[in-house]
Amino acid sequence: MTRRSKRGSKTQAKVQDFVIVDVVEDLEQAHEREALLTHNDIPAVIKEQTDEVTNVHGFAVMVPEEHLDEAHVVIESQDAYDDFYDFALEDEDADSDVGADFFEDEF
């Protein structure tokens, strides 16, 4: 009879109870999502995935089902925060280009 590690079976059972909250293209972004969720007291794991139909490779960020709604709120809040600052920086760059034309002299 083969003896299985208790730790390995518990980990496997835990991952099976997790659901996908987000799928991202690169591992760095997956780790950022995982850190964001764990910082907000939501357990998270990353699982590498390949869609067999489209052959698209990505990383699934997974959380326990009971934390799914909260995880969506945390991720959406962070995305909105990032979008706001991207927009603010974009707007600042556009304003600096307009001012540059005003001060340019043609002699």
Domains present along the chain, CATH in parentheses: 13-99 (3.30.70.1530)
Distance between alpha carbon 34 and the CA centroid of its chain, in Å? 7
Hey, what's the torsion of the CAs at 95, 96, 98, 103, to 10 degrees? 140
Residue 10 — very low, low, confident or very high, per pLDDT cuts 50/70/90?
A: very low
Mean pLDDT of 15-32: 91
Q: Give tens-digit pLDDT for 34-75.
A: 999 999 999 999 999 887 887 778 999 999 999 999 999 999
Residue 13 — very low, low, confident or very high, per pLDDT cuts 50/70/90?
A: very low
For the entire predicted model, the pTM comes to 0.63
**Which amino acid, one-letter code, is at 33?**
R
Question: How long is the chain?
Answer: 107
Q: Contact at 8 Å (CB) between 78 and 34? A: no
Q: Give tens-digit pLDDT for 85-100.
A: 677 667 565 555 555 5
Higher pLDDT, 53 or 81: 53
Higher pLDDT, 59 or 81: 59
**Which amino acid, one-letter code, is at 50?**
T
Task: Give how far Cα 69 sits from Cα of 20, 35, 63, Å.
Answer: 11, 17, 10
Q: How far apart are CA 46 and CA 61, in angstroms?
A: 5
